[in-house]
Amino acid sequence: MKKRIFIVLGIIVVIFLLIYGIIFYIDYRNITRGKLPIFASEVNKETYQGLGYLVNVKYYEDTENIETMDLYLFGKHVGGVVICYDSGLYSSDDQTNNSTITIKDGKIQNENLLDEFIEKANSKQNANLQIDIISDKNKETINLEYIIGKYYINNDTTSTTNMTAPDRNWNFDDYQEYYGYYKLVKNGEEESFDDYHFDIIRETNDNVVSVIFYSEMIDLIEIPKICEYNLDSSLYKKIYGDLIYNQRKDVGIEQIAEKGQFDNSDFGLYTFGGNVLIIVEGDMAYSLEDALSHKVITVQDILDQAKLDEKYGICQISLFNDGGSIEYRYKDYTILKYNTLDGNKDLFIAMSESLMPDTIINSVNEIGY
């Protein structure tokens, strides 16, 4: 008897989920095509409430024309559309069909395409990217291209045999053809700049992410900015809240966690010259030790957050020729991740690099922890 009840309940649940999936899919497809939802109830002109999902609608000022719609499923943004009537623009963030980055009022869609472009360019592969920037009823289209050079086509990165070396009389076009270069076109007009083997990076200030070309010669030449967008609309996230470093009078080293003590990390965690607080939602403050022991964060979380912050230009990195050690340099503190040839992989949280007469890694090495 009980088995029959469970079977009946299971069938009911499956039927409910199937019906719910169909309802949600229909409204999802309507919204990403610029149409109002069918099954969601109108709360007001700008809000529609469905079962487990919410639709926000924005209209052009003083009109009945829809400007944007955003769909949230259990609080998570899962789809939307941007419509610009004068330019004929219809831009959906349906990930299955969209191969273009759209930045509308500073909010970015399909940011993952930027990561894919940067990865290809850094690995010396031909790459293309289109970015549509929409403001009010205007649209700017940016076409970004990386063109691989003969140096990499001929696999000259590992051998100098039979290689045509750069000549001192070469001009910029010669260098570009040999090493590869970026091409930037805005609204059909190519931006002219001398490509000194740039990388493309993000730089974040005041919650605004700027996508820029970067080179050690950046201060010597004038180059165009590619685009910018709000950090809140990006794929960036805070893994564990905020890290607060409080300087002590001494500059001693304190071990916080042994290898694998709080998670599966294969390195120990130390502080250098200060105490660390972890601030989480609701302004709850934990000492670093308590945050780890109460599973608020893990040791690996600290390193993962530093890597993500570096990707978005929130901190800067410095690499060391000892096997691969890295310093992640923030304004108020430094995170040092050892990766030496002799097997040291420990993680340090230390004072700001600006407060030290030497690098953090050299200072720790001198103490000989």
Question: Do residues 318 and 305 make contact, with C-beta atoms less than 8 angstroms apart?
Answer: no
Q: How far apart are CA 312 and CA 35, in angstroms?
A: 35
- The whole-number pLDDT of residue 312 equals 97
The angle at the Cα of 149, spanning 227 to 175, to the nearest 5 degrees, equals 85
pLDDT of residue 87: 43
Judge residue 23's burial from the number of C-beta atoms within 10 Å of its C-beta, 0-12 exposed, 13-18 middle, 19 or more buried: middle
Contact 43, 30 (CB under 8 A): no
Q: Which residue numbers in the chain have pLDDT < 50? A: 86-90, 92-97, 158-163
What span, in angstroms and rounded, lies between the C-alpha atoms of 253 and 349?
10
CA atoms lying within 13 Å on the CB side of residue 249: 0
Alpha-carbon distances of 262 from 87, 259, 298, rounded to whole Å: 56, 8, 7
Domain spans, the chain = 2-98, 108-233, 242-367
How far, in Å, CA of 111 to CA of 124, rounded? 21
